[in-house]
Structure 1
């Protein structure tokens, strides 16, 4: 684990010790509403049995008040948003996908480690490492978007790769969650291989994230 990954994990766990209660993750962000979808690049984990086994085991032990467990088919790593589907033209989507496919063909599959658990006020996630590989892929996507649009949405800085396994659904006390997480933090990580990057239309549904896949960008074999 690199020094900045280790530092982040330590700093976030230390901060969690002083957190009295959870923050409800499900407030409506600007522009969001129940009938609206959002174009975004995510990494998804449909065919990752080792990860699914780990998440199932962790979630069994995290079935606590205040936490909304993420279904296995809802696991994702947020990469780069584009905009609401009613504000982005089909032509722009086609151009961005084509540019991303061209650039993605030069990238190898992404070999990642997921774990240990990494919590904050809005949920419990898994640390993703190494960060630099995910950051390089995100920079490639941003470069493709920038080749089509004069500016790229969302800041380039402040990105922290993670996969959430439980969102905070109510302002519950963190004390019982902290106690349970302390027992789980030594659980070993699992390895995953990402061979494609989907562009999805994301929506919120019943206190979870759901999506339809708009396009996929294969990474080089």
Structure 2
């Protein structure tokens, strides 16, 4: 049962290894995708650090370095399958559309233990889904709807603070987290980023291609 299948506020019964290879992925593979990233978001970093301090002694978890915290939005395609001119069109179409949205502020917490990761749900979900829908429309305008992958109905926005690298029962982990709660935090989200991402070292790392402002603003 994936995170998208869990009722709000509930935990998975078991965790499994997150690092299995999805179709098309391998060491050395790179992909274009849209994420929300959190450089300089100290409130979110402090919250993640609090939880990671609690989780640091738990075997079977890979803690996400603060610089690589992210909210997954929408894939575009593997590098090599998307031409540079297509990337430029995707950016241009998405930029025009994201500029028409209102500004976004997201609240994170409390932690949920999902099937492959320990996550901070993002609220309101509707605000993130509006951004994602707009990004999907930008990709479709640039490349056609047939190139827009992923099921929009199975998207639940979250930031992962740790990934599971083995199979295990979640009950001791849930009990540990309940003994070490933290306040929610709210952060402004000024932009969505088109990135080139990989997972060669069992951590998601990327290079930013373009940061695109959300809402009308002249600078980030």
TM-score greater than 0.5 by the shorter chain: yes
Q: Could you tell me the TM-score, scaled by structure 1's length?
A: 0.90
Q: Deviations over 1:113-170 (max 9, x none)?
A: 0111011120100010001100111111111111122222212211100100000011
In structure 2, list runs of 5 or more residues that go unmatched. Answer: 1-5
Contact between 2:15 and 2:168, CA under 8 Å: does it hold in 1?
Answer: yes
CA separation of 1:156 and 1:22: change in aligned 2, threshold 3 A:
closer
1:59 deviates by 0.3
Q: Does 1:188 align with 2:188?
A: no
Partner of 1:43: 36
Structure 1: distance between partners of 2:178 and 2:128? 27
Structure 1: distance between partners of 2:40 and 2:69? 11
Contact between 2:34 and 2:193, CA under 8 Å: does it hold in 1?
Answer: yes
- Residue correspondence of structure 1 range 4-15 to structure 2 within 5 A: 8-10=7-9, 12-13=10-11
Q: Deviations over 1:50-86 (max 9, x none)?
A: 1111111110001110111000011000001011011
Note the aligned Cα RMSD (angstroms).
1.6
Q: Does 1:158 align with 2:154?
A: yes
Contact between 1:65 and 1:172, CA under 8 Å: does it hold in 2?
Answer: no
Stretch deviating more after TM superposition (73-82 or 143-152): 143-152
Q: Could you tell me the TM-score, scaled by structure 2's length?
A: 0.90
In structure 1, list runs of 5 or more residues that go unmatched. Answer: 1-6
The one of 66, 69, 76 equivalent to 1:75 is: 69
Contact between 1:43 and 1:198, CA under 8 Å: does it hold in 2?
Answer: yes
**Paired residues, number:** 209
Partner of 1:4: none
Contact between 2:113 and 2:170, CA under 8 Å: does it hold in 1?
Answer: no
